[in-house]
Amino acid sequence: MPPVQVGVVMGSSSDWDTLQHAVQILQEFGVAHEARVVSAHRMPDDMFAYAQAAAGRGLKAIIAGAGGAAHLPGMLAAKTPVPVLGVPVASRHLQGVDSLHSIVQMPKGVPVATFAIGQAGAANAALFAVAMLANEDAALRARLDAFRARQTEAARAMTLPPVA
């Protein structure tokens, strides 16, 4: 089994409904990954240990999803040189706008690449990770090129209904 290249972490198991879309993309591309709950608020020592060990374990990217106050992506980024890709998870009351603001407003010097709220953001974070890895992997680049070609063909095949 190849070494894990991408970590997918979330603050709660309830975030899985969103983050599973990142895992599906990583599986589609054959990227070795792991998924786990690492809560910034309920298990900060575990979160710091995960971040501090990430580079040494060979992780090339961490996709971190969080809702509400959404501190997980930023706190991970503060403790690791591994790129962190933040995915805001839709919250019950503010539909994820709170999460988006929490993740995207990182201070200068501690970047988190931030994606759209919800499932599209999770999938795009994984596609971004794939693109990063494809810079060093010609076979992965070919799979990514083929994926994008399929996306293009699907868009070209779209038709509009007649005017009513």
Residues of the chain with pLDDT under 70: none
User: Tens digits of per-residue pLDDT, 39-56?
Assistant: 999 999 999 999 999 999
- Mean per-residue pLDDT of the chain: 96
List own/partner pairs for 130-136 with CB under 8 A and 24 or more apart: 130/25, 130/26, 130/29, 130/31, 132/60, 132/61, 132/83, 133/5, 133/6, 133/31, 133/60, 133/61
Say how far residue 52 (Cα) sits from the centre of its chain.
Answer: 18
Over pLDDT 90: what percentage of the chain?
A: 95
Cα–Cα–Cα angle for 63, 141, 151, rounded to 5 degrees: 80
Digit-coded pLDDT (tens) for 94-119: 999 999 999 999 999 999 999 999 99
**What is the value of pTM for the model shown?**
0.95
Cα distance from N-terminal residue to C-terminal residue, the chain: 56
The confidence score (pLDDT) of residue 151 equals 97
* C-alpha to C-alpha distance for 115 and 21, rounded to whole angstroms: 13
d(CA 103, CA 98) in angstroms, rounded, equals: 9
